[in-house]
């Protein structure tokens, strides 16, 4: 086997191994909303912890890598030709409802994940997030006369509010058990309705800004 073929196989194998570690994290998050340790990820991936750190500088970098991959389907949202703002609302809400790992890691990113990662990795993540939000902001331009800055703020506000709503509406059972029925109005409410109401409220505010 010539040197070029050996090198190509080596690159492919490294990419597969790196992806297998990310997939192992995803599998663990399917069964628990607790962020797993490097040892747990290594065990799930069938490798040693040393192998983990051969591909990722820190445990948090694995989480951020998964979050970036989970965000990729969002690009399909703004790639479509939208008929009206209700279509975008439905697409975004369905994405948030159907991607609990994205929501969990989105909540953890600013306060946990970004604290133990190199500035270069965080920069790449932030630029990717900004690019997705910019594309979404552009997609609503036909339905309002607001500036790009105002549309960006709308998209970002809905994302941040959706994360908060997801956290409260998906409280674990041991948290729900400490409350009497109707004792705390922010806990355990229907998430889809909460997201729909939040979108409508923010959209009304955006439209009012343009008047």
Residue pLDDT tens, the chain, 211 long: 454 444 445 878 888 999 999 999 999 999 888 899 999 999 999 999 999 999 999 999 999 999 999 998 887 766 677 889 999 999 999 999 999 999 999 998 887 777 888 888 888 888 988 998 898 898 899 999 999 999 999 999 999 999 999 988 887 778 778 887 777 877 878 899 999 999 999 999 999 998 6
pLDDT at residue 9, as a whole number: 53
Global pTM value: 0.86
> Maximum CA pair distance of the chain?
70
Q: Could you give the CA distance from residue 95 to residue 127 in angstroms, rounded to a whole number? A: 21
What integer pLDDT is reported at residue 176 of this predicted model?
78
CA distance 58 to 80: 36
**pLDDT value of residue 164:** 92
Can you give the pLDDT at residue 22?
97
Can you give the pLDDT at residue 78?
67
pLDDT for position 6: 46
| The predicted structure's pLDDT at residue 65 | 92
Cα separations (Å) of 45 from 49, 99, 116, 131, 151? 10, 22, 22, 31, 41
Q: How far is CA 32 from CA 28, 100, 139, 159, in A?
A: 6, 11, 35, 23
- The H or E element spanning position 206 is helix 191-210
Predicted local confidence at residue 75, as pLDDT: 76
């Amino acid at each position: 086997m010539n040197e070029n073929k050996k090198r190509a196989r080596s690159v492919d194998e490294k990419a597969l191994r790196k992806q297998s570690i990310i997939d192992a994290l995803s599998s663990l998050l399917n069964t628990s909303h607790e962020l797993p340790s490097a040892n747990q990820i290594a065990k799930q991936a069938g490798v040693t912890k040393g192998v983990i750190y051969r591909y990722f500088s820190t445990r948090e970098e694995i989480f951020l890598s998964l979050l970036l991959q989970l965000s990729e389907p969002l690009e399909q949202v703004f790639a479509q030709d939208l008929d009206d703002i209700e279509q975008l609302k439905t697409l975004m809400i369905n994405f948030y409802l159907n991607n609990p790992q994205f929501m969990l890691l989105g909540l953890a990113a600013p306060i946990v994940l970004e604290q133990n990662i190199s500035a270069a990795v965080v920069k790449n993540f932030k630029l990717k997030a900004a690019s997705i939000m910019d594309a979404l902001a552009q997609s609503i331009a036909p339905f309002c006369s607001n500036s790009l800055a105002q549309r960006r703020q709308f998209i970002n506000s809905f994302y941040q509010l959706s994360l908060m709503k997801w956290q409260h509406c998906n409280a674990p059972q041991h948290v729900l058990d400490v409350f009497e029925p109707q004792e705390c109005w922010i806990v355990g409410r229907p998430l889809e309705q909460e997201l729909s109401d939040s979108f409508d409220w923010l959209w009304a505010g955006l439209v009012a800004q343009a008047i």
